[in-house]
Chains A and B, each alone.
Chain A
């Protein structure tokens, strides 16, 4: 018989150690399909590590990949803290990217010092607005935000496709469904010569620290934590629960919108309907792996980005499909959910014999 005994006090070592262990277990479990594919397991992992950290170029790729994941991870983390289950990061990302393109492809001409902030704000605003309706439906009518935010993803992506096939289609795009290119003045500056890592990373890191400070040290952050942990008590204590949910929703959507800005204005330079390989969804894994801690999100995003970048490079070298990366990411989510059980409970195996001896 297995007995679960709740732990009274969860040590911080255990809190931090659990997701790290979960990530390692996920890597270990992923070695089974690598072996099944007939590839040398150790070499595969070495290649992955080299692909992610082996050179300046590799590391730059890792950072470029981590940038949107930090932002979508923050979006999920801050919403989940208030138990607002925003699964719509993907749609908010596209909304942000669409707004960035609308502002940054020539509608306004201004020097970079003005245009870049405008593009960033437009993207954040658009992402935030995507959360307004689901949040209001939740607090007013009790509509489940998991459903509404998830379904909005498809609505937004179809809307983006419509725009790219219609009004926003690049006349010079040889018929491809893509937007006009961003003005140079609207692009986020590169951080390194000839590398893809861009100043969206700085934006993401600043947001991580800002969200951390916001949750820990401000009245609004206090109210978000209270509403998330115990909405009944928060309401009883006079905290405006509805306003708090709306605030969290807007912030979460805005952060995901920034991820779209960062991809369009930092990396691609124009918008296509395949801008994101599911950054919005992967952000949820990042947030869970980070234990919903804004600073932890940075490390979780680096880990996940490393898996993706490393797996790409490994699959080129030894021919194991890079779907392995998705497998590792999915497994690490499962592992971190399971690890939560070990953090909160002490698990003891009780054999019938031991029970008799007890008595």
Chain B
């Protein structure tokens, strides 16, 4: 394809890419073109085939059909050798994976030049490399302390090292897989500013995302994947949230909204609670959760959320401080006691903590109540009661599975989360702890989770929502508190907060109200 007047030349073209994994069609006849200096967002739900497509582009996978072509030095498109990351690197494609591929015990500088410095006379090459890197950092605005070990850099800095590594290898096409998944809102803004300046210097950029806001803010063009097929490819200027969401899901989407409601009596109180050790511990945490209230807890992952969740799940004892449930002290660190006192727990890692993968859907639906009178007689399981419960829950929660006897491991993340929801929420809990309840779920499944949490709130339950997704927190929470390095800020009504102030607190800056 030739470039039209006024348009930049095509530097990369995927045509007719099809990839199967067994019976699963991950990509089907996908075409994608990338022009010089353009930022393209690859949007799609989980399992839509975004990462597969990028892995084919970078040579991790070989496509079953179709070709990847890259512009050579003369600007002509040439087919690239498939299945070879080396070939992709030589053609000027750089990839920043979701999980970074840095050697933690080497410095940033060593990571960047790794594999490019010759063994003979490394000193001289090193000096040249430093000069080149300094120039690169100046031009791109990616500032990193080169002589610090990667393990001591923040996540945002590590990402900058990854990008520098790609640029140092003369990448003309930069691919980023879910680059904002680990960043604070401010770090994300910085990243996108950097990407825009790189694009202005002629680099073509593809980033993968399922977050509509950042796609709208940062891209020139959006390609939407659904079930492995490209369903739309259009200029970002012609899109809005609603349109993109519908393209991504394939049907109309109604965003979750909570009805205003006055909170009830105090339900769960934490007073000066410390627990856990190391980076993820919590120190002197206190709050009160009321009936019919959703209390959002924002924070960048790894700041104590997991410890707070484990404490409230009954998996970890409090070292100091006290917990009260309706004025009665809660001592035991015993998950069974928590369940019996009416605290429902939706775990952060649903595959590890939520279900026993090798057991059936039915067994996972009753596992928390297996000792209750409903499912056993004299220690023997009542299979008909268990099967009946499974049928009921599968219907009520629309759990997509072959039946109650299916092994839970084979279900998708969204359906596994529905098992957890059915099990915990049908017990009519007084408190619901939802830790990252929509992480990794697509829009449809996320909507289900939100609806169920709002139903619990409407019923009068108190909900603690731990999340890294500000959209989710603002849509659902009555009050929001921020956790940073184990300390929890005072919760404020979410109407009085905005994204910027919460984002700053997530990064560790105290707001004026905090300081006062």
Are A219 and B356 within 8 A (Cβ)? no
* Interface hits, B336-384 → A, CB 8 Å: 336-340, 345, 347, 352-359, 363, 367-368, 370-371, 376, 379-381, 383
Please, which residues of chain A bring their CB within 8 A of the CB of B308? none
Tell me whether A220 is interfacial, beta carbon within 8 Å: yes
Tell me whether A358 is interfacial, beta carbon within 8 Å: yes
How far is it, in angstroms, between the C-alpha of A57 and the C-alpha of B145 when the chains are bound? 83
Please, which residues of chain B bring their CB within 8 A of the CB of A359? 62-63, 82-83
Given contacts A8-B410, A232-B353, A237-B368, contact A225 B359 (CB under 8 A): yes
Q: Mark A172-199, 1 if CB is under 8 A from B, else 0.
A: 0000000000000000000000000000
How far is it, in angstroms, between the C-alpha of A236 and the C-alpha of B311 when the chains are bound? 11
How far is it, in angstroms, between the C-alpha of A9 and the C-alpha of B402 when the chains are bound? 12
Please, which residues of chain B bring their CB within 8 A of the CB of A162? none
Q: Mark B424-459, 1 if CB is under 8 A from A, else 0.
A: 000000000000000000000000000000000000
Given contacts A229-B358, A235-B315, A359-B62, contact A219 B353 (CB under 8 A): no
Could you say which of B336, B356, B363, B376 contacts A240, with CB atoms under 8 Å apart? B336
Please, which residues of chain A bring their CB within 8 A of the CB of B356? 225-226, 229-230, 233-234
Are B353 and A233 within 8 A (Cβ)? yes
How far is it, in angstroms, between the C-alpha of A225 and the C-alpha of B64 when the chains are bound? 41
Tell me whether B335 is interfacial, beta carbon within 8 Å: yes
How far is it, in angstroms, between the C-alpha of A32 and the C-alpha of B197 when the chains are bound? 71
Please, which residues of chain A bring their CB within 8 A of the CB of B353? 232-233, 236
How far is it, in angstroms, between the C-alpha of A120 and the C-alpha of B337 when the chains are bound? 38
How far is it, in angstroms, between the C-alpha of A218 and the C-alpha of B314 when the chains are bound? 25
A322 to B: closest C-beta gap in Å? 40
Are B354 and A236 within 8 A (Cβ)? yes
Are A217 and B352 within 8 A (Cβ)? no
Are A237 and B83 within 8 A (Cβ)? no
Please, which residues of chain B bring their CB within 8 A of the CB of A234? 356, 367
A9, A236, A238, A355, most chain B CB atoms within 10 A: A236
* Interface hits, B450-503 → A, CB 8 Å: none
Are A238 and B22 within 8 A (Cβ)? no
Residue ranges of B at the interface with A (Cβ–Cβ < 8 Å): 22, 62-64, 82-83, 313-315, 334-340, 345, 347, 352-359, 363, 367-368, 370-371, 376, 379-381, 383, 407, 410
B70 to A: closest C-beta gap in Å? 15
Q: Mark A4-17, 1 if CB is under 8 A from B, else 0.
A: 01001100000000
- 24 A-B residue pairings within 8 Å (CB atoms): A9-B410, A217-B380, A219-B381, A222-B370, A222-B381, A223-B370, A226-B359, A226-B363, A226-B367, A229-B359, A230-B355, A232-B353, A233-B353, A236-B315, A237-B335, A237-B339, A238-B337, A238-B339, A238-B368, A239-B336, A355-B62, A355-B83, A358-B62, A359-B83
Q: How many residues on the A side are at the interface (Cβ–Cβ under 8 A)? A: 25
How far is it, in angstroms, between the C-alpha of A197 and the C-alpha of B484 when the chains are bound? 71
Please, which residues of chain A bring their CB within 8 A of the CB of B314? 238
Are A236 and B313 within 8 A (Cβ)? yes
Residue of A nearest to B366 (CB): A222
A276 to B: closest C-beta gap in Å? 33
Q: Mark A219-253, 1 if CB is under 8 A from B, else 0.
A: 11011011001101111111110000000000000
How far is it, in angstroms, between the C-alpha of A234 and the C-alpha of B352 when the chains are bound? 10
Residue ranges of A at the interface with B (Cβ–Cβ < 8 Å): 5, 8-9, 217-220, 222-223, 225-226, 229-230, 232-240, 355, 358-359
Please, which residues of chain A bring their CB within 8 A of the CB of B338? 238
Please, which residues of chain A bring their CB within 8 A of the CB of B354? 233, 236
Are A235 and B335 within 8 A (Cβ)? yes
Residue of B nearest to A223 (CB): B370
Please, which residues of chain B bring their CB within 8 A of the CB of A240? 336
Please, which residues of chain B bring their CB within 8 A of the CB of A226? 356, 359, 363, 367
How far is it, in angstroms, between the C-alpha of A232 and the C-alpha of B367 when the chains are bound? 13
How far is it, in angstroms, between the C-alpha of A9 and the C-alpha of B376 when the chains are bound? 29
A134 to B: closest C-beta gap in Å? 24
How far is it, in angstroms, between the C-alpha of A234 and the C-alpha of B313 when the chains are bound? 12
What would 7 more interface pairs be, CB under 8 Å, given A217-B383, A233-B367? A219-B381, A220-B379, A230-B358, A236-B313, A236-B353, A238-B368, A239-B336
Please, which residues of chain B bring their CB within 8 A of the CB of A8? 22, 410
Are B379 and A218 within 8 A (Cβ)? yes
Residue of A nearest to B371 (CB): A219
How far is it, in angstroms, between the C-alpha of A189 and the C-alpha of B192 when the chains are bound? 83
Residue of B nearest to A5 (CB): B22
How far is it, in angstroms, between the C-alpha of A219 and the C-alpha of B379 when the chains are bound? 5
How far is it, in angstroms, between the C-alpha of A230 and the C-alpha of B357 when the chains are bound? 8
Are B381 and A217 within 8 A (Cβ)? yes
How far is it, in angstroms, between the C-alpha of A193 and the C-alpha of B363 when the chains are bound? 48
How far is it, in angstroms, between the C-alpha of A197 and the C-alpha of B494 when the chains are bound? 78
Could you say which of A9, A218, A233 contacts B352, with CB atoms under 8 Å apart? A233
| Nearest 8 CB-CB pairings of A with B | A238-B336, A359-B82, A229-B358, A238-B335, A230-B356, A236-B353, A237-B367, A238-B339
A277 to B: closest C-beta gap in Å? 35
How far is it, in angstroms, between the C-alpha of A223 and the C-alpha of B315 when the chains are bound? 17
How far is it, in angstroms, between the C-alpha of A232 and the C-alpha of B336 when the chains are bound? 13
Please, which residues of chain B bring their CB within 8 A of the CB of A225? 356, 358-359
Residue of A nearest to B345 (CB): A236
A236 to B: closest C-beta gap in Å? 4
Could you say which of B83, B352, B407 contacts A230, with CB atoms under 8 Å apart? B352
A144 to B: closest C-beta gap in Å? 22
A358 to B: closest C-beta gap in Å? 6
B462 to A: closest C-beta gap in Å? 20
B71 to A: closest C-beta gap in Å? 20
Given contacts A230-B358, A233-B353, contact A239 B380 (CB under 8 A): no
Are A218 and B357 within 8 A (Cβ)? no
Please, which residues of chain B bring their CB within 8 A of the CB of A235? 315, 335
How far is it, in angstroms, between the C-alpha of A8 and the C-alpha of B22 when the chains are bound? 10
Are A219 and B370 within 8 A (Cβ)? yes
Residue of A nearest to B335 (CB): A238
B38 to A: closest C-beta gap in Å? 27
B82, B356, B368, most chain A CB atoms within 10 A: B356
How far is it, in angstroms, between the C-alpha of A153 and the C-alpha of B375 when the chains are bound? 40
Given contacts A219-B379, A232-B352, A233-B353, contact A239 B367 (CB under 8 A): yes
How far is it, in angstroms, between the C-alpha of A69 and the C-alpha of B370 when the chains are bound? 33
Please, which residues of chain B bring their CB within 8 A of the CB of A222? 363, 367, 370, 381
B421 to A: closest C-beta gap in Å? 14
How far is it, in angstroms, between the C-alpha of A234 and the C-alpha of B337 when the chains are bound? 14
Please, which residues of chain B bring their CB within 8 A of the CB of A230? 352, 355-358
How far is it, in angstroms, between the C-alpha of A233 and the C-alpha of B315 when the chains are bound? 11
How far is it, in angstroms, between the C-alpha of A219 and the C-alpha of B378 when the chains are bound? 9
A224 to B: closest C-beta gap in Å? 12
A248 to B: closest C-beta gap in Å? 15
A80 to B: closest C-beta gap in Å? 14
B314 to A: closest C-beta gap in Å? 8
B259 to A: closest C-beta gap in Å? 31
How far is it, in angstroms, between the C-alpha of A8 and the C-alpha of B412 when the chains are bound? 13
Residue of A nearest to B402 (CB): A9
How far is it, in angstroms, between the C-alpha of A236 and the C-alpha of B353 when the chains are bound? 6
Please, which residues of chain B bring their CB within 8 A of the CB of A233? 352-356, 367
